[in-house]
Amino acid sequence: MELTDGVVRTYILYAPRKWIIFVILSILTCVFAAVGVGSIIGTNPNWPPGIFAVFLIGIPCFHWFRVLSTPHRITLDVDGTTTFISVIRSRQFHLREVKALRPVGGELGFFTIDFGHGKQKFLAQFTGFHDFVTRLKEANPNAVVLGC
């Protein structure tokens, strides 16, 4: 499938005040790290045991990974090649490979696109996302599209 107008499309995540999540996550990371280090040093008997330091440091790391791997840009090339771009990685596939596009259960506003050799979870607040869904349906009428 080739896009009829011959233009590379770019869809940008619309997230006003997205810097707030970075501020909140930074503060929580500092608090969790301080409690984790404090539990390892063990100067205060009221602090949790040192074994909890692994969890106290691991929890913010998990959330940082989720935030930094959430796509902020989607590009759709003339030949149907799609790239989901995040801060730490990019996922590339062709629209013909898409098996399903559906909402993620229990996470309001998040969708998952299954492209056969992987899945990509993303926040469905991209400018012009309806155009992307329309082009997906044109390129791959067998793809299951739910909630769009």
For residue 69, count other CB atoms closer than 10 A to its CB: 16
Locate the domains of the chain by residue range: 9-14+73-145, 19-68
pLDDT of residue 11: 95
Pick the CATH number of 9-14+73-145 from 2.30.29, 2.40.128, 3.30.450, 2.60.40: 2.30.29
For residue 18, count other CB atoms closer than 10 A to its CB: 12
Q: How does pLDDT run across 128-143, given as a tens digit for each residue?
A: 999 999 999 999 999 9
Q: How does pLDDT run across 62-107, given as a tens digit for each residue?
A: 999 999 999 999 999 988 899 999 999 999 999 999 999 999 988 8
Q: How far is CA 123 from CA 85, 107, 139, in A?
A: 12, 10, 22
Range 115-133 average pLDDT: 92
